[in-house]
Amino acid sequence: MIVFLTTKAHDYTLKDVAKWKIADIRLLSYDALFQAKSLPEATYVFTDFDRLGFWELELAADAYRNLSAAGMRVLNDPARACQRYSLLKALKAEGINRFNIWRVEDGEWPDRYPVFLRFQSAHRGPLSGLLATSAEVERQIEWALSMGHPRKELMLVEYCAEPIRGQLFRKLASFRIGDRVFLSLSVHEQNWVAKEGQVGLADQADYEWEQQALAENRYSATIKRAFEIAELEYGRADFGLVSGTPQIYEINTNPHIPPGTNPHIFSTRTANQTLARQNFIEALTSIDTPSRFWNRKRIPNAPLILEQMQRDPKSAVLRWTP
């Protein structure tokens, strides 16, 4: 059994995976976890840290330790995991990333341009286009504050992207699941903010490049090192290539996993989808803990969890998603 811990509103990312007939996969909200006195023997994967407040993050870290002490296999320690700002700072210091970032709340200011404004936590993409001067930055920050965006969430990121040709940009992704790091599918957009991909932009040569990269598991050494710096054992690293070198933009601990392959006009892309899905399945099954749902272990009620129950006695009861 593999149990994924998510915020209640964001378990949709894994609902399709839970239906796959590859392992007994369960989805559990943090609200339910914080009340549980016993849990089934399983592998537990903590995710969604950037959607947790301080109180919830501390509770999650405490639960991680209780599960580990009970002999469970547990991935992603909430107390140790780097979130976006600290991770990007560390990757720059390590020499993996060449671009810098600055936190608005700390009074940090860019020394190189262009930059763009974004949130530290939310997965909403940039809050601005590319900003070329300090005056533009000041205006954009003031606009963000006037719209009610919290200052402590604002950060400036140095632009670091490169089209593969013309104005066509490619975003790459690699997963880590346990000890396995493997390249996944790419997306293409006519925009430096490549996220979901646009149909009809990539050609046969692009998908042949992707196929070869998947077969070779390119960039795995660099991506593995990034996960080690982030102290994460599960997630998806999103990155691009600049002068042939990976530039890592984030590691998402709760990425959306699509249901399977989609029909495509290029058979090479269809084959690539199949290979990427198979790699994901093999990696996921490698962390599975064989058990039955009712083979449960008692989890100590730490003071934090007891206090949470006293403060919010009507919070959600333990529910499992089949």
Task: Check: CB of residue 60 under 8 Å from CB of residue 78.
Answer: yes
Residue 108: give its domain's CATH number.
3.30.1490
Boundaries of domain holding 208: 169-286
Final residue of a domain: which of 109, 133, 158?
158
Residue 164 lies in a domain: no
Give the CA diameter of the chain.
61
Both 58 and 45 in a single domain? yes
Give the tokens for residue 33. 């976890």
Both 282 and 296 in a single domain? no
Give the tokens for residue 18. 């839970």
Residue 112 lies in a domain: yes
CB atoms within 10 A of CB 70: 15
Residue 268 lies in a domain: yes
Residue 316 lies in a domain: no
Structural domain count, the chain: 3
Residue 321 lies in a domain: no
- Dihedral pair phi/psi, residue 116, rounded to 5°: -140, 155
Give the tokens for residue 173. 């992704």
Residue owning tokens 């900003």: 131
Residue 262 lies in a domain: yes
Per-residue model confidence (pLDDT) at position 316: 36
Give the tokens for residue 16. 């399709």
Residue 77 lies in a domain: no
Per-residue model confidence (pLDDT) at position 313: 47
pTM for the whole structure: 0.90
Tens place of pLDDT per residue across the chain (322 aa): 999 999 999 999 999 888 888 888 999 999 999 888 888 899 999 999 999 999 899 999 999 999 999 889 999 999 999 999 999 999 999 999 999 999 999 998 999 999 999 999 888 889 999 999 999 999 999 999 999 999 999 999 999 999 999 999 999 999 999 999 999 999 999 999 988 888 889 999 999 999 999 999 999 999 999 999 999 999 999 999 999 999 999 999 999 998 777 788 999 999 999 999 999 999 999 999 987 555 666 666 544 554 554 555 444 333 334 3
User: Residue 119: CB partners within 8 Å, gap ≥ 6?
Assistant: 127, 149, 153, 154, 155
Residue 320 lies in a domain: no
Final residue of a domain: which of 139, 158, 177?
158
Both 153 and 184 in a single domain? no
Per-residue model confidence (pLDDT) at position 317: 38
Buried b (16+ CB within 10 A) or exposed e, 277-314: bebbeebbeebbbebeeeeeeebeeeebbeebeeeeee
Residue 213: give its domain's CATH number.
3.30.470
Both 137 and 187 in a single domain? no
